[in-house]
Structure 1
Amino acid sequence: MEKQEKNCRPDNLYYCGIVLPLAGILFLALLRLLKIPLNHILLPCIFHKLTGLYCPGCGGTRAVYWLLKGNVAYSLHYHSIVLYGAVLYVWYMLSNTVQYVSRGRITIGMKYRPVYGKIAVVLLVVNTIWKNGNLLLFHKGL
């Protein structure tokens, strides 16, 4: 039990928040250097191919693309959870960086709360119903 608690320390999450985006940037830089288009390595959505409906994750990649381009409205259109996750990530990293740099004198570091996950599930459900409702009722796809 003690090993599991040690692995779930906030420090580990903070360091992952630093390393994972850097790894993503390195990966994208490598693709650009090798002139491999990103859409050539992404897998198609099997759920959409089989059913014609959108899965809860459909639109996520396009939402990330538009968010990185600075178009928040398009990002929200394709998938609201991407912006939600980005806001949580930025707040978590900024608040914990301030706490880390101040050596704990300023204790504003964001902590995980179960409500964050519940909000994410609600966003997934609403997004899936919205996209599939538009597809089935109005024949408007992504």
Structure 2
Amino acid sequence: TLHTNDAPSAVARLADIGVKRFLISSAVRSIMAQRLVRKICKDCGADATLSDKEIKSLKLDSKQMEGATIKAGTGCRTCRNTGYKGRMGIFEIFNIDEEISHIINRNESTPQLRKRARELGMRTLREDGVRKVLAGRTTAAEVVRVTMSDSD
């Protein structure tokens, strides 16, 4: 286990602890980052709306909001009036293909790795969290609390 802010940062962390970059690029196929968020209580979860601040924080647009099921827990005995019951993971999977291997071997920076991974379709922790907010499974506050902005 490595502790990093995101999956691409694990490459630099491995290099920091002495693993040669050519070994990282040849031996590692994927790196997964995960965070736990609290789940909205099923007993008291009710329809809700996102505040303008939450919409801005999650970088949502009206198209993404179409068909969304925004929920929030109102608090009940089941959840001890917290509105949450249990936890679930949000995930980021960084696949290391031939192109990413070359980037790692060229000793490019973590932001460059992250940028290229995003261009190749990597879904960030924040993006996976947003999907779960829009599905009514957790709240925007939870996702913002445990993830960094995708522009960081």
Give the TM-score of the pair, scaled to structure 1: 0.26
